[in-house]
Copies of this chain bind each other. A is one copy, B any other.
Amino acid sequence: MPGPVQSIERAAAILRVLASGRLGLVEVANSLGLAKATTHGILRTLQGVGFVEQDRATGKYQLGAALLHLGSSYLDANELRSRAINWADSLAARSGEAVHIGRILGTEVLIVHHVFRPDDTLQALEIGALLPAHASALGKVLLAFDAGAAEATLAAPLISFTRRTIVSARAMTRELTQVRERGWASETGEMVVDQASVAAPIRGHGGLVVGAIGVTGPAERIGDDLHGSSRAALVALVRDVARAVSRDLGGSRG
């Protein structure tokens, strides 16, 4: 490999560290084990290109505005998102719940699109946010069809968010097998108490799973504990929409 440009990797690591908030020079340097001067040079360069900004008053560094534009440019170029947007609106309208579209990023789920629940106005926009893969329906779908991501996720301890969160690697492996077999995933109160979600895979060219789409809402309307036709209808709805997106996505070459 004649490539891996060290300084760029370090710059990326610095940006990732800064994503957690405002930090001082030495804090950044220490958390990455870099020399102060080296960190300073990289930070200065990142500042020059607008990826990092410095608070004049405190001297602390934070992410820069140029990243916001790049992030939104990513969304513009993202075919999964552009194809799925219309279907997501339709799913939200028909299910009456909030809709999320996500893809894998490392061992987490990156939300690339979010439709608010139709009746509810005060919600936070979650585009760009990261969800734990093992505690969300979207994440279970994505892990079930991405062996690499699944392995990476199971390599580390699974963080517990509620009493229902699946923390055992064996249980998770079983769960993923089931998801793979039936073609959809669910989660009830595993991330947030009394919140549940259902999701299904979106496939791109050649049947490869490139993302997932799902609905999220109160456990009493979506949860596993709810048996009967309404739950089955919801699952069918989500799966239908996911298949529709897949069809759109597979049809044309990007």
Are the CB atoms of B70 and A15 closer together than 8 Å? yes
Copies of this protein, total = 2
Are the CB atoms of A65 and B103 closer together than 8 Å? yes
Are the CB atoms of A8 and B9 closer together than 8 Å? no
Are the CB atoms of A105 and B65 closer together than 8 Å? yes
Give the size of the chain A interface in residues (CB under 8 angstroms).
59
Contact of A48 among B4, B66, B105, B110 (CB under 8 A): B4
Q: Across the two chains, which residue of chain B brings its CB closest to A48?
A: B4
Are the CB atoms of B128 and A72 closer together than 8 Å? yes
A69 at interface by CB-CB < 8 Å? yes
CB neighbors of B among A4-27 (8 A): 4-5, 7-9, 11-13, 15-16, 18-22
Are the CB atoms of A68 and B65 closer together than 8 Å? no
A3 at interface by CB-CB < 8 Å? yes
Are the CB atoms of B71 and A254 closer together than 8 Å? no
Also in contact, A70 and B110, with CB within 8 A (given A9-B48, A45-B3): no
What are 5 sample pairs from A and B whose C-beta atoms fall under 8 A apart? A4-B48, A12-B49, A58-B254, A72-B128, A125-B125
